[in-house]
């Protein structure tokens, strides 16, 4: 089934997008929106393409949605891009995802007009030490090159898990109590 957006031409899609954004602006705009990147492999199977191509298409859609959020005036966008659990996927798929992350981080910080135009600070958060060295370097570079941007924030959670986040938070709290920075009740 083809969506209505595919049936419309580019100019009609752009007009429809602008109209929708204008309508949304009349209500309260959230300051922070988060997206979980999910379904790219299902999309790839449905379209008979490789999982890597499905993930690439998912990133293209993310760029479009990020632009919509920024046009709408959302201050912070968080993207849950790669769970620690995803490292259990086939090596070929993980390698393709890591290469995509590296390439897109380079593109975002060095070539993206969207990042410059909206003054977006890129923050990559999660267990960065689990990432391959080239992806960590790309993340560090993206964060350094956009550190002075102040208008909006793009948080890229990679790699993450909620269980790990909670465990890390409890561990830091315990360290804070033992270090005298926090007082127990």
Q: What is the pLDDT of residues 109-138, one digit of tens each?
A: 888 888 999 999 999 998 899 999 999 999
Angle subtended by helix axes 51-72 and 10-25, to nearest 10: 50
Residue 179 lies in a domain: no
Q: Over the stretch 37-76, which tens digit does the pLDDT of each residue have?
A: 877 777 778 888 777 777 778 888 888 888 889 888 899 9
Q: Whole domain around residue 110: which residue ranges?
A: 31-157
**Beta-strand pair 120-125/32-36:** unpaired
Collapse the DSSP code of 49 into the 3-class scheme (helix H, G, I; strand E, B; otherwise coil) and give the result: coil
Domain count, the chain: 1
Distances (CA, A) of 149 to 55, 137, 142, 177: 28, 19, 11, 34
Nearest by Cα to 159 from 180, 135, 131, 181: 131
174 domain-assigned: no
Q: Residue 84: which CATH number?
A: 3.40.1180.10
């Amino acid at each position: 089934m083809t969506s209505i957006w595919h049936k419309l031409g580019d100019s009609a899609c752009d007009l429809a997008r602008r109209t929708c954004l204008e309508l949304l602006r009349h209500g309260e705009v959230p300051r922070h929106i988060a997206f979980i990147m999910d379904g790219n492999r299902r999309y790839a199977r449905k379209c008979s393409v490789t999982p890597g191509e499905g993930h690439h298409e998912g990133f293209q859609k993310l760029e479009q949605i990020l632009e919509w959020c920024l046009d709408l005036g959302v201050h912070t966008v968080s993207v849950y891009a790669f769970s620690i659990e995803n490292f259990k996927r086939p090596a070929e798929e993980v390698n393709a995802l890591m290469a995509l992350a590296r390439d897109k981080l380079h593109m975002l910080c060095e070539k993206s007009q969207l990042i410059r135009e909206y003054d977006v600070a890129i923050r990559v958060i999660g267990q960065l030490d689990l990432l391959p060295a080239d992806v960590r370097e790309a993340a560090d570079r993206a964060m350094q090159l956009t550190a002075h941007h102040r208008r909006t924030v793009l948080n890229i959670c990679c790699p993450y898990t909620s269980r790990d986040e909670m465990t890390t938070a409890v561990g830091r709290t315990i360290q804070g109590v033992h270090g005298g920075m926090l007082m127990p009740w």
